[in-house]
Amino acid sequence: MSEKAKGKMQEAAGAMTGDEDKKAEGQARQRKASAREEREQQKRTKAEQDRADRAERSRDKEERKNKGGLLGNL
């Protein structure tokens, strides 16, 4: 079970029993899980951007190589 789901259950249990501390703890747990998910998504996005940058540099290098220098293929 995800931390976010556990937090929702804890919040609901606190709301049903009138335990504000438990309710607040459940909300905090949900926020923590959301922050962790966001960090993980940022890491995946950065990795994909790095991969795209490397591919672009490789493509540009290959294009320069195929042009044969400043004079081209004369």
Query: Taking a C-beta distance cutoff of 8 angstroms, is the pair 3, 36 a contact?
Result: yes
CA–CA distance, 10 with 19 (Å, rounded to integer) = 10
Question: Residue type at 65?
Answer: K
Asked if pLDDT for residue 73 goes beyond 90, the answer is no
CA–CA distance, 30 with 11 (Å, rounded to integer) = 9
CA–CA distance, 10 with 20 (Å, rounded to integer) = 11
Tokens 């249990």 found at: 13
pLDDT tens per residue, range 20-69:
999 999 999 999 999 999 999 999 999 999 999 999 999 999 888 888 65
What integer pLDDT is reported at residue 63 of this predicted model?
87
